[in-house]
Structure 1
Amino acid sequence: MIKTLLVKIFRVFLLISCKLITGIQARWLSEPNNRLRIFYANHTSHLDGLVLWSCFPKHLRSTIHPVAAKDYWAKTKFKRFIAKDVFNSVLINRKPTQQDNPITALEEMLQHKQSLILFPEGTRGNGEHIADFKGGLFYLAKHFPDVELVPVYLNNLNRVLPKGSKLLVPIICSATFGRPLPPLKEIETKDSFSRRAKQALEELAP
């Protein structure tokens, strides 16, 4: 009971704080709905998942799960509480092993009709360009062909919390949700698909 109350308090506090600090403005080219989707975005800040999650209508948030790095968000009990309990994140190991394959957890979420927020670059960039994608998005697109892939371009998040900094700088940010990517073609290679998915994301940049 107490934990449930704490989750609600932290969720409201962080969502309000997020909107006050970033003034996040969401622009939807494909309207939010109940379809099973993977929202994939550029990654420039530890705030990316929170900010993107805050853009969704309240009734959808319980079915959309940010994918986050276990080595960062499981470092302390407090960080794990914020990631797992408050924002329903899926924590994955960025250095997969046979015993801990990150794709397995993502597959389970999709099999249970839960949408994901994914950062296919795999690590944070500097906000100036989008790095080449890792193979996870291709794998999921191949094994879950009915899942819609929606690119989301996050702008200015790298300036709110620069890499290596712990100081938040209030700056207006935006999230542009693109139209779903055309499905993976039967003979399409990983490299071809990744280039196409990356280009769709780059085209949403201001």
Structure 2
Amino acid sequence: MISCKIITGIQARWLRQPTGKVTIYYANHSSHLDGLVLWSCFPKSLRHHIHPVAAQDYWAKTKFKRFLAKDVFNAVLINRKPINNSNPLAELETLLANKQSLIIFPEGTRGHGQQIADFKGGLYLLAKRFTDVDIVPVYLNNLNRVLPKGSKLLVPIICSAVFGEPIKPLQETESKNGFLTRAKQSLEELAS
């Protein structure tokens, strides 16, 4: 965790301190370091209950990456292209049911850090099934410059993570599109 903080100089700003309540933290995604750096912002006492969600096709490519993701950072690796109608959210649902928290990136893939892309449906499906969990936006700034898309070279730059207030839970009559738009807007508000 110290190495994440040294490389990025990450400065976390909490509009509400973490309580230990089961939470889905969702953030913009512009670097392969996002989940690891975000996870390092949490107090050590909470980290073993919080799981960054990462793409299996990237993080399971080598033994070293898999070791980092699973054994060091407590990550859950998911298959973004499910086989035979399997549920890519099944492991996430199990973790939430077992009172574990998640860090997810609803854009689905990382962008260049200039703007937040439209969200995929995973956040909506989890919010629909787990109505009692907090859903907290986290805006990550500058991580796209630490490890730019397509680069393998780390550039030490000061980064920040702004943890917002939980968004209003999914409303009974709220559409998928309405919920995802509202969640994205809450994240965009943290950017300013």
Aligned to 2:89, the other structure's residue is in SS state: helix
Question: How many angstroms apart in 2 are the aligned matches of 1:170 and 1:81?
Answer: 23
Equivalent residue for 1:124?
110
Question: How many angstroms apart in 1 are the aligned matches of 2:68 and 2:41?
Answer: 18
Equivalent residue for 1:5?
none
Q: 1:107-140 CA distances to partner (integer Å, 9 max, x unpaired)? A: 0100110000000000000100000000000000
Matches within 5 A, 1:12-161: 15-98=1-84, 100-161=86-147
Matches within 5 A, 1:171-186: 171-186=157-172
Matches within 5 A, 1:183-194: 183-194=169-180
**Deviating more after overlay: 73-82 vs 148-157:** 73-82
What's the CA shift for 1:101? 2.0
Give runs of ≥4 in structure 1 deviating > 3 Å: none
What's the CA shift for 1:20? 1.1
Could you say which structure has the higher helix fraction?
A: 1
Pairwise CA RMSD: 0.8
Q: 1:5-29 CA distances to partner (integer Å, 9 max, x unpaired)? A: xxxxxxxxxx122111111000000
Runs of 5+ in structure 1 lacking a partner? 1-14
Runs of 5+ in structure 2 lacking a partner? none
Question: How many angstroms apart in 1 are the aligned matches of 2:84 and 2:188?
Answer: 33
What's the CA shift for 1:99? 5.6
Asked which structure has the greater CA Rg, the reply is 1
What's the CA shift for 1:143? 0.4
Per the normalisation by structure 1, the TM-score is: 0.91
Matches within 5 A, 1:160-175: 160-175=146-161
Per the normalisation by structure 2, the TM-score is: 0.98
Question: How many angstroms apart in 1 are the aligned matches of 2:166 and 2:59?
Answer: 29
Preserved CA contact (<8 Å) 1:64 1:117: yes
What's the CA shift for 1:102? 1.3
Equivalent residue for 1:8?
none
Question: How many angstroms apart in 2 are the aligned matches of 1:127 and 1:47?
Answer: 13
Q: 1:172-202 CA distances to partner (integer Å, 9 max, x unpaired)? A: 0000000000010001000000000000000
Preserved CA contact (<8 Å) 1:18 1:51: yes
Question: How many angstroms apart in 1 are the aligned matches of 2:85 and 2:53?
Answer: 19
What's the CA shift for 1:88? 1.0
Aligned to 1:204, the other structure's residue is in SS state: helix
Question: How many angstroms apart in 2 are the aligned matches of 1:122 and 1:56?
Answer: 23
Equivalent residue for 1:11?
none
